[in-house]
Amino acid sequence: MNALAADLLAPMTRYSPAENGLLDFEREASGSLRCIPMMVRFKLDRVRAKLALQQWRQLERAERAWLVLQPGESFEEVSAYRAWLIAAPLAQTDQPPKLFSPGPSPDWPRPDVVADSVTAWCVGLGLSSPGTACWARMSPLQHFTLTKLRRSGHEKDSYLVAMVEFGLLEAPYG
């Protein structure tokens, strides 16, 4: 694998093709594809691109669905995804997506260590953090989702519903 391929694919690991759609907790909000689903945000991080919500909404619904369903594991798939992102939003909005260089490694990809950010958020909510065994059973998309949902701008309820979906918490939250 060449350096560009390694750069585009790191630090992501394989995700299940069954996850190539919407998570249950986001179906209501993202089912219409008005919001950017976690799977797309996961893939955007993978190709080191950021789409503004305004750009996302200016894409045709079929284009948004394509971004949800498109695979993104091999170097060729990741490269095609990135190339399409650069071309399509530019044609639609005259604003290319923001591209970014790799920064410090995120804390979520390691299956053997619970992300510090997730532990801190759980403690702040008065919940137990996922144990190492639970974290190891979770998919990279689930790791990514929990780290993204704990950031400002997301409601605590989305985080709690995601934790229930991922088998980390029983409804009604505790």
pLDDT grade for 6, boundaries at 50, 70 and 90: very low
> How high is the pLDDT of residue 133?
92
The DSSP secondary-structure symbol of 128 reads P
Percent of the chain with pLDDT over 70: 79
pLDDT in tens, 97-118: 888 887 777 878 888 999 998 9
The domain locations on the chain are 3-99, 116-165
pLDDT tens-digit profile of 77-90? Answer: 889 999 988 888 76
Report the predicted TM-score, pTM, of the whole model to 2 decimal places: 0.79
Q: Helix (H, G, I), strand (E, B), or coil: what is residue 98? A: strand
Q: How far apart are CA 88 and CA 97, in angstroms?
A: 9
Rounded CA-CA distance 160/172 in Å is 9
Rounded Cα distance between 110 and 96, Å, is: 31
DSSP letters along 33-77, please?
SSS--HHHHHHHHHTTEE--HHHHHHS-HHHHHHHHHS---SHHH
